[in-house]
A and B are shown apart, each in its own frame.
Chain A
Amino acid sequence: MLSKVIAARIARLVATLFAVSLLTFLMVEQLPGDPILAILPPEALDDLENIERIRSELRLDDPVLTRYGRWVGNAMQGDLGKSYITDQPVSDAIKDRIPVTIELAFLATLIAALAAIPIGAFSAYHEGGRFDRIASAFTTTALSIPAFLAGIFFIWLFTLKFNWLPSSGWNRITDKGIVANLKTAILPAGALSLAALAINARLIRADMIGTLKEDYILSARAKGLRSRYILMRHALRPSSLTAITVFGLQFGGLIGGTVVIETVFALPGLGTRLISGIYQRDVMMIQGITLFIATVYVVVNLFVDLLYLLLDPRIRRQ
């Protein structure tokens, strides 16, 4: 039974990826302008033979469906093609950049989780109290601030005013160690985490308010158990299902969300490469990275679904 469910989910995943690949390809194809003209500088356009030679080399003179078929066929074997602009294999570009993007998304999720759980739990426990009102104001503010604006604010505060952290660049763990890495990661991850933090804190709060009114919580209180124990042991677990779902979805979303924040902080992640690809009309790079991000998103969703099955016996029984 369970295997049937998993198989159905995987089939849905494949169908989604096929649709994403086709849409991405067709949308990029529909962009006005000739991709060859984006490859060449203006001074090179006088040479028509050169233009046609490059077009032929890149097999851009093939029909659209032929090119799509070739691209998808190669992508299924892990070959996303070569950048028209830089000649770099797209899979290499992704491989070089994905650690940065994944780390950012992971750190942002971690920050959001670490902050949201206590904020949500204590807000629920002290519903209507001072802490709850402050937390509510904070989450409202955090939700209303776009990540890029938060990033600019963080640069102003932590770099220009206090000079604690660098404003741009990325120290790779492999080159400079974890501490140097975190120095460059913490501001962008913090900026990226704000909205997720706010949403999760509110979700946990709302969920826990309901949970805290359950009979078994009242029973635990009546037994004289400590508040922290009740909150973390008895209330948080049932309330965490929604949060886990949202964390999972957010992780996938944050991969996409890094596009802007990486540009603000000049980080060598997928987002920066995607933006450069769009500016340069680097067709293969745009298609490859978009497909990759979509794949990560749907795979993470699949895992969340499976985790749900694991955590909630009721769903398993259904």
Chain B
Amino acid sequence: MNKSWLKILASLFTIALIAAACGGSDSDSGSSSSSDAASSTETEAETEEETETTEKAEEVIEAGTEAEGDVDTEVEEIVDEVNYGGNLTIGLEAEATGLRPWEDACSSPCLTMVLAIHDTLVVQRADGTIGPWLATSWEANDGFTEWTFSLNEGVTFHNGYSFKAQTLVEMFELQKVGASAAGIVTAANLQEVIAVDDYTVKYVLGAAHSAFPSFLVQTPLGAVFEPYAANDDFDGYSMNPIGTGPFTMDKRDLDNETIVVRNPNYWMNDRDGNQLPYLDSVTFRPIPDEGTRLDSLLSGTTNAMQTLRQGTIRDARSAKEDGADITLLEFQGNNVGGGMYNLNNPPLDDVRVRRGLTHMNNQDAVIEALGGTGISLPGTQWYSPDSPWYSEKVAAAFPSFDFDAGKALIEEYVNDPDRSDGRAVGDKIEVELSCPPDPTLIAAIQVVEQLWSASGMVDVNLTNYDQQTHIGYALGAPPDFQGSHGVHCWRWSSQNDPSTELNRQLAPHTLGVAAAYGLDGIFTPTNFPNYFDIEIFGWLIAAIGTDVFEERYALYEMVMMRLARDVPIYFSGHTATLLALDTNISGINGWVLPDGTFGGQGWAVPNLNQAFITD
């Protein structure tokens, strides 16, 4: 009798534990720079080798439309009747490092908070173009070296100060030396900010940049903060930020909750003339554990959450299928997981090895290991199939999974008497394959290791370092910044204009390389694969010297074709993100700009200024 009772008790407890474990956390990568999902490419090769630029432009998938197999939530006009009042509690991935736009490194959770308090000059529309926000219009001179912006009048900061052109001049003094903004100032070659009059400001660049407004979408340069408050209390600004945004800081309890309340003097109205925002308050709760964050939403502890993890997206979908009363806003943009080959590290300096290893990477198996089947689109280039920059030609040129072709290339290298790694003919090559120590990432690289090892010609050394070490390993140390990594998991690209990242990341990786090509002083530590091609560099410079889309498209396509040929980096799958909400939350998908166009979602950062609760 006693034994039976004990058995029943033990069984019940075991079942409960298993259920909890199965339904609980599925922590994906904690890495913001690590590889994400992968999937096989299904793109159809273009048979025509030569295509006119204008014809190519016509083939581009219209921005904002859905690519085949895409799981993005479509942007739709808000049809619910708006309500004022209520509190929205959002579960965030982490606490914000800080809320100083010019100073603090900011990822999705931090951006969610920063943008509730600060407005940017311009914003990105759902179709990827740049639209008005605090700036109503803008124009460049013929050489794209001077950009003049007209500003909204009657905008005030939370402390009552007026927002004028001089504000941007004062902000620039902090941005020039801001830990976060200084790099963007350098990348944009921004020399000076001039107040032409109270509501007109001029940005003066040191060189042409036809996509300069794209830098103002980014918070370090574009988020408008009250510069006098920032100067008065530089360190304390994070606890009491002053912007022009829809919400003002009410309570900042680090690692627990940050509460912002409605800004009664917010400058923006909705299309019917109702003053924004609708919500009384928003509470941000950092909940690092993925499972707990989803459970918090499902149990009503929060009523919204964000995630960048495929496992959590999968669990949220399951919960919805099981009847959970939630709305899922899925989005995957250009950000694409994959990795890089360090060209400083033989045998990775040889294109046969890089192409061979990429060919032997079964993206289907990798995506399965990551749990991203049916969630992430395959990646073949810097852009997703929804992007106006996407190229079918590049997709066809990317070395997709073909084990035999890959093996043949490695074999050719291994039997080459002049092989670059100094080993004897016939000896296996040795590569280090490294990802941050996340269970799903480890599973994914184990798949890759098995494939490469199965060729019989590759010795793979798997390593895992924490996130910061992983980045530092690829970055190397100042002043040379030559990372000693091998094959390294990484994430590439963003929703922003291609120039904002490509021009920097494909610049000369050492001062010596720069000097060899007559580019004295042009150098970047963020060329992580240590790959430089003077033609690519020329195309990239040309692409910021024109604002004709077709011309720019053709140039970026040439860049991507070269990358597909030389394979310094490889792609797996585009990064899926999710905003999950109670079904009575509306206005987060389908928010509009002052000109009536739709804004974009992007990277699980909700725009809260038009959010409301329907009942």
**A266 lies within 8 A of B177 (CB):** no
Nearest A-chain residue to B25, judged by Cβ: A152
**B97 lies within 8 A of A133 (CB):** no
A 99-133 to B, binary, CB cutoff 8 A, 1 in contact else 0:
00000000000000000000000000000001001
**B187 lies within 8 A of A43 (CB):** yes
Q: Known: A86-B98, A167-B292. Is A141-B299 also a contact (CB below 8 A)?
A: no
Tell me the smallest distance from the CB of A203 to a CB of chain B, in Å. Answer: 22
Nearest B-chain residue to A264, judged by Cβ: B289
CB of A149 within 8 A of chain B? Answer: yes
Task: Please measure, in the bound complex, the distance between the C-alpha atom of A159 and the C-alpha atom of B478, giving whole angstroms.
Answer: 49
Q: B6 touches which one: A38, A40, A134, A157 (CB < 8 A)?
A: A134
Q: A85 touches which one: B98, B186, B257 (CB < 8 A)?
A: B98
B 220-233 to A, binary, CB cutoff 8 A, 1 in contact else 0:
10000000000000
Task: Please measure, in the bound complex, the distance between the C-alpha atom of A93 and the C-alpha atom of B479, giving whole angstroms.
Answer: 33
**B105 lies within 8 A of A41 (CB):** yes
Q: B254 touches which one: A37, A53, A167, A268 (CB < 8 A)?
A: A268
Q: B299 touches which one: A43, A159, A263, A269 (CB < 8 A)?
A: A159
Specify which chain A residues have a CB less than 8 angstroms from the CB of B292 in the assembled complex. Answer: 152, 155, 167-168, 264-266
CB of A145 within 8 A of chain B? Answer: yes
Nearest A-chain residue to B484, judged by Cβ: A32
CB of A48 within 8 A of chain B? Answer: yes
User: Which one of B14-22, B57-65, B139-147 is at the A interface?
Assistant: B14-22
CB of A56 within 8 A of chain B? Answer: no
Tell me the smallest distance from the CB of A265 to a CB of chain B, in Å. Answer: 7
User: Which one of B343-351, B446-454, B466-474, B532-540 is at the A interface?
Assistant: B466-474
Q: Which of B183, B285, B300 has the most CB of A within 10 A?
A: B183
CB of A96 within 8 A of chain B? Answer: yes
The total of chain B residues at the interface (CB under 8 A) is 76
**A32 lies within 8 A of B473 (CB):** yes
CB of B578 within 8 A of chain A? Answer: no
Nearest A-chain residue to B13, judged by Cβ: A141
Q: Which of B16, B105, B256 has the most CB of A within 10 A?
A: B256
The total of chain A residues at the interface (CB under 8 A) is 66
Q: B238 touches which one: A40, A54, A87, A265 (CB < 8 A)?
A: A87
CB of B10 within 8 A of chain A? Answer: yes
**A137 lies within 8 A of B6 (CB):** yes
B 4-30 to A, binary, CB cutoff 8 A, 1 in contact else 0:
011001100100110111011100001
Q: Known: A32-B472, A40-B179, A157-B16. Is A152-B291 also a contact (CB below 8 A)?
A: yes
CB of A227 within 8 A of chain B? Answer: no
**A46 lies within 8 A of B524 (CB):** yes
Task: Please measure, in the bound complex, the distance between the C-alpha atom of A57 and the C-alpha atom of B549, giving whole angstroms.
Answer: 44
Instruction: Across the A-B interface, give the 10 residue pairs with the lowest CB-CB distance, nearest first.
Output: A33-B472, A44-B183, A268-B256, A268-B255, A281-B468, A266-B287, A41-B105, A156-B20, A153-B20, A43-B183
* A and B contact pairs by CB, cutoff 8 A, 18 listed: A32-B469, A33-B469, A43-B187, A45-B526, A50-B182, A54-B179, A153-B20, A155-B295, A160-B298, A163-B299, A168-B295, A168-B296, A172-B256, A264-B25, A268-B253, A276-B95, A276-B255, A281-B468
Residues of chain A having any CB pair with chain B under 8 Å = 31-34, 36-48, 50-54, 82, 85-88, 93, 96-97, 130, 133-134, 137, 141, 145, 149, 152-153, 155-157, 159-160, 163, 166-170, 172, 263-269, 272-273, 275-276, 278-281
Given pairs A39-B105, A50-B182, 7 additional interface contacts (CB within 8 A): A33-B473, A37-B472, A41-B106, A45-B475, A88-B238, A156-B24, A166-B299
